[in-house]
Amino acid sequence: MTKVAIVTASDSGIGKACALLLAQNGFDIGITWHSDERGAQETAKKAAQFGVRAETIHLDLSQLPEGAQAIEHLIQRLGRVDVLVNNAGAMTKSAFIDMPFTQWRQIFTVDVDGAFLCAQIAARHMIKQGEGGRIINITSVHEHTPLPQASAYTAAKHALGGLTKSMALELIEHHILVNAVAPGAIATPMNDMDDSDIEPGSEPSIPIARPGSTHEIASLVAWLWADCLLFPSDAADD
């Protein structure tokens, strides 16, 4: 039986790299997008070149709980779910003293509430299937280290890290492994970068002196969904 993976926000960046690596490893793929439908279609087209099925759907985690039902629709279309990569998120910068409450809530709604609902839907199906599964939450290095002028984003990523730990504790009895990946500076559209920015010495403030690539993050995520991986749960890979 072909396994199925759903990767949120896989129209670009880390999500796209994860979706394509999953497809390369034989997974049928569920692809979600928020504002870049063309990017999602491009991901689906590239995934299909590996001989797998790829389905796309619009996901708006600012409109909850209804928005998260896109995950349910993808599972119905693809028949099951074995891996969920919770990658969708939002980030805005604003000084703590000036931040409107609406902006604070917007970030928490997408980054925490949305991830919670997507994971809950996927986990319920994994339990019903009775074959275990993997849930990987993409947090951020700012789960551990605060980002100036981004108190909502920093707090939300801390919260998602805590949610990951609770999920791991409760879902392990169903053989569902839950982990977080906390990327640092990665060459993605959210960071106004792409692969052309990955040059040695381009980011001297980083020990490796360059931003990370989406493929490097996808490779780490791939290790977490591997069938041979039966032990680590509740780990945050930075």
pLDDT in tens, 84-141: 999 999 988 899 999 999 999 999 999 999 999 999 999 999 999 999 999 999 997 7
Q: Which domain, by its residues, includes 67? A: 4-225
Asked if the structure places residue 16 within a domain, the reply is yes
186 strand-pairing partners: 212
Q: What percent of the chain has pLDDT over 90?
A: 68
Does the N-terminal peptide bond of residue 65 adopt cis geometry, omega within 30 degrees of 0?
yes
Q: How far is CA 115 from CA 64, 145, 171, in A?
A: 11, 21, 16
Q: How many CA atoms lie within 13 A of 23 on its CB side?
A: 24
Indicate the pLDDT class of residue 148, thresholds 50, 70 and 90: confident
Burial-class residue 185 by CB neighbours within 10 Å (0-12, 13-18, 19+): middle
| Mean pLDDT (the chain, rounded) | 87
Q: How far apart are CA 238 and CA 231, in angstroms?
A: 18
Number of domains in the chain: 1
What pLDDT score was predicted for residue 232? 52
Tell me the pLDDT tens digit for each residue of 172-206. 999 999 999 987 655 455 554 555 545 554 454 54
Q: Are 176 and 133 in contact (CB under 8 A)?
A: yes
The pLDDT of residue 236 is above 90: no
What pLDDT score was predicted for residue 131? 96
The pLDDT of residue 237 is above 50: no
Asked if the structure places residue 233 within a domain, the reply is no
**Element holding 49 (H helix, E strand):** none
Residue whose C-alpha is closest to residue 31's, from 41, 21, 49: 41
What pLDDT score was predicted for residue 150? 86
> Is the whole-model pTM more than 0.75?
yes
Asked if the structure places residue 147 within a domain, the reply is yes
What pLDDT score was predicted for residue 219? 86
**Which residues are known catalytic residues?**
153
What pLDDT score was predicted for residue 67? 97
Tokens matching residue 69? 């039902």
Indicate the pLDDT class of residue 83, thresholds 50, 70 and 90: very high
Q: Are 13 and 217 in contact (CB under 8 A)?
A: no
Residue whose C-alpha is closest to residue 90's, from 12, 152, 145, 159: 152
Asked if the structure places residue 79 within a domain, the reply is yes
Asked if the structure places residue 235 within a domain, the reply is no
What pLDDT score was predicted for residue 71? 99
Q: Domain of 144: which CATH number?
A: 3.40.50.720
**Element holding 85 (H helix, E strand):** strand 83-86
Tell me the pLDDT tens digit for each residue of 28-60. 999 999 999 999 999 999 999 999 999 999 999
